């Protein structure tokens, strides 16, 4: 599956608190002790920014597709599982079935009945 082009994706808009969360969790190592700052909103923003970044990277560096495509697929699958993302407030049964049908072990797809 070819990656969606960066131009065809909607632009990811991140508020300042989500951006601070992304910087703290992606670029800066955690320091103990600190309070738990876990937030579904910030986690979603982090995954959206990562997915957008990988897509933009691939549009500029197509030769990296074989190495990077599995990471992009993982990020896209994660976004499909987030409640409220194009499928209502709960995860649909069909979304779960599709994900199970496309699971891989060691680079090979699992065969489902």
Asked if pLDDT for residue 20 goes beyond 80, the answer is yes
What pTM, to 2 d.p., does this model score?
A: 0.59
Q: Please, are residues 3 and 69 in contact by the beta-carbon 8 Å criterion?
A: yes
For residue 23, name the pLDDT band (cuts at 50, 70, 90): confident
How many domains are contained in the chain?
1
Per-residue confidence (pLDDT) for residue 8, from 0 to 100: 62
Q: Per the domain annotation, does 6 fall within a domain? A: no
**CB contact burial 87-113 (16+ within 10 A = b; e otherwise):** eeeebeeebeeeeeeeeeeeeeeeeee
Q: Per the domain annotation, does 3 fall within a domain? A: no
Q: Per the domain annotation, does 95 fall within a domain? A: yes
Q: Per the domain annotation, does 7 fall within a domain? A: no
Per-residue confidence (pLDDT) for residue 44, from 0 to 100: 85
Close Cβ partners of 43 (under 8 Å, ≥ 6 residues apart)? none
Per-residue confidence (pLDDT) for residue 111, from 0 to 100: 55
Q: Per the domain annotation, does 99 fall within a domain? A: yes
Q: Per the domain annotation, does 9 fall within a domain? A: no
The CA-based angle 10-13-15, given to 5 degrees, is 165
For residue 19, name the pLDDT band (cuts at 50, 70, 90): confident
Instruction: Please give the average per-residue pLDDT across 14-35, as a whole number.
Output: 78
Give the least confident one: 33-42, 45-54, 77-86: 77-86
For residue 87, name the pLDDT band (cuts at 50, 70, 90): very low
Structural domain of residue 81, as residue ranges?
Answer: 14-29+38-109
């Amino acid at each position: 599956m070819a990656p969606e082009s960066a131009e065809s994706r909607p632009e990811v808009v991140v508020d300042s608190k989500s951006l601070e969360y992304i910087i703290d969790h992606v670029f800066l190592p955690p320091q103990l002790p600190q309070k738990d700052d876990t937030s579904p909103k910030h986690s979603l923003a982090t995954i959206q920014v990562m997915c957008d970044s990988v897509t933009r990277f691939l549009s500029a560096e197509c030769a990296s597709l074989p190495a990077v495509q599995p990471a992009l697929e993982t990020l896209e699958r994660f976004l499909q599982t987030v409640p409220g993302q194009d499928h209502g407030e709960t995860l649909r049964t069909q979304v779960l079935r599709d994900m199970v049908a496309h699971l891989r072990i060691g680079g090979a797809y699992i065969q489902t009945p």
